[in-house]
Amino acid sequence: MASEHAAAVSTDAMPEELHPRHLRRRLLELVLLGVVVVAVVGALPGLGAVRRRFDHAHPGFIALAGVFELASCLSYVVAFRDVFCPSLPWGFSYNLAMAEQATNVLVPTGGAGGLALGAWALRQGGMATEYIGRRSVAFFLLTSIPNFACAALGGALLALHVLPGHAPIVPTVALSALAAAAMVGVAALPRFVGWVRLGQAGGRLRRAFRAALMTLAHGVGDTGTLLRQGRPAAVGGAVAYMGFDVAALAATFAAFGSAPRFGPLVFAYVIGQLGGLIPLPGGVGGTDGGLIGALVLYGSPLTQAAAAVLAYRAFQLGLPALLGAVAFSRLRRALTGSTAPAAMCAPLAEPLPVLVRQ
């Protein structure tokens, strides 16, 4: 059996952008960016109010934010393992999931870098390529659903004044409607793909497009299966991944004064995180600006929002980067061994029905 596992291990080369030397450089860039931000906040005369917020910060709430952010990272690990294979060793799952989070921080690809690392490592570990593809889609969707659901439902409740707090009507309704439309569109993807006529013949681009459609459709189907099964680790881990992250932001707000009302805080959080789609290392600048702007739009004082977001982002970026760097080193050592840690999950990759018409 051990020889079979060893034979199952792929020898695919690691994507160049995920090579350790590139990640080390990205980590150094992130540290330098942090130093620059601290220097700017400490030196610019117009930021005196923000500096005073830091001078009077409550250390207990700052520490609590770190605890919440660590819980968010570990929730990602729990969800990752249950989505891909509940039989995966916990050590391998932790190292891979934490390395994914570090890659998402260090590689400016809007989250695609972590998925690429996960796909490569699972393939090296002996998992079937087709299964990795559709479960990567399912994992991405499952961890995104809480954000989109909070945007769609939270925005509606704020607009209807069911949830208390300041909420400008036009952007709230528009963003809530867009989130709801995105969820409906993704849910309808398998049915849409079933209407598409794409034969097996054709050029490389046509075949690649067909394969991508199939992977997306089956990934959406797997997401629905996980939700219908009510898998506590997968669903609960995905919800806790976002929930603890919001709690970390709320804790940093409390450290500099008082936390905003629940509805505006959560809605501003999910809208502000869209700034992370800008391809910058760690989303530095994009996410920070998006969060501060959204929080101020929904009623938070500018200086408190700026201080809270800067403290929150130090944990949101620092913990995954540091823990993930160590995990990545352990992951590489595990994958150079003679065993295939993901080979026991091969029976999960069952043949799937054809959705695309021939």
Condensed to tens digits (0 to 9), the pLDDT of residues 237-276 reads: 999 999 999 999 999 999 998 888 999 999 999 998 887 6
Residue 345's pLDDT is 73
Q: Is 7 within a domain?
A: no
Q: What is the mean pLDDT of residues 161-183?
A: 93
Decide if 265 contacts 247 (C-beta within 8 A). Answer: no
CA distance linking residue 252 with residue 313, whole number of Å: 10
Task: Pick 212 or 79 by higher pLDDT.
Answer: 79
Task: Pick 54 or 357 by higher pLDDT.
Answer: 54
pLDDT at 6 over 90: no
Q: Is 339 within a domain?
A: yes
Residue 9's pLDDT is 46
pLDDT digits (tens, 9 = 90+) for 114-163: 788 888 888 888 888 888 988 999 999 999 999 999 999 999 999 999 99
pLDDT at 63 over 90: yes
Residue 208's pLDDT is 77
**How many other β-carbons are positioned within 10 Å of the β-carbon of residue 102?**
28
Q: Is 356 within a domain?
A: no
Least confident among 138-142, 321-325, 332-336: 332-336
Residue 127's pLDDT is 85
Decide if 144 contacts 242 (C-beta within 8 A). Answer: no
Q: What is the mean pLDDT of residues 62-69?
A: 97
Residue type at position 49: A
What is this structure's pTM? 0.85
Q: Which residues contact 184 (CB under 8 A, 6 or more apart)?
A: none
Q: Is 354 within a domain?
A: no
Number of domains, the chain: 1
Q: Is 353 within a domain?
A: no
Q: Is 11 within a domain?
A: no
Q: Is 195 within a domain?
A: yes
CA distance linking residue 75 with residue 91, whole number of Å: 14
Q: What is the mean pLDDT of residues 271-290?
A: 73
Q: What is the dihedral of CA 72, 22, 291, 162, to 10 degrees?
A: -40
CA distances from 241 to 41, 207, 353 (A): 30, 36, 32
Structure tokens at 121: 């490592």
The boundaries of the domain holding residue 53 are: 18-348
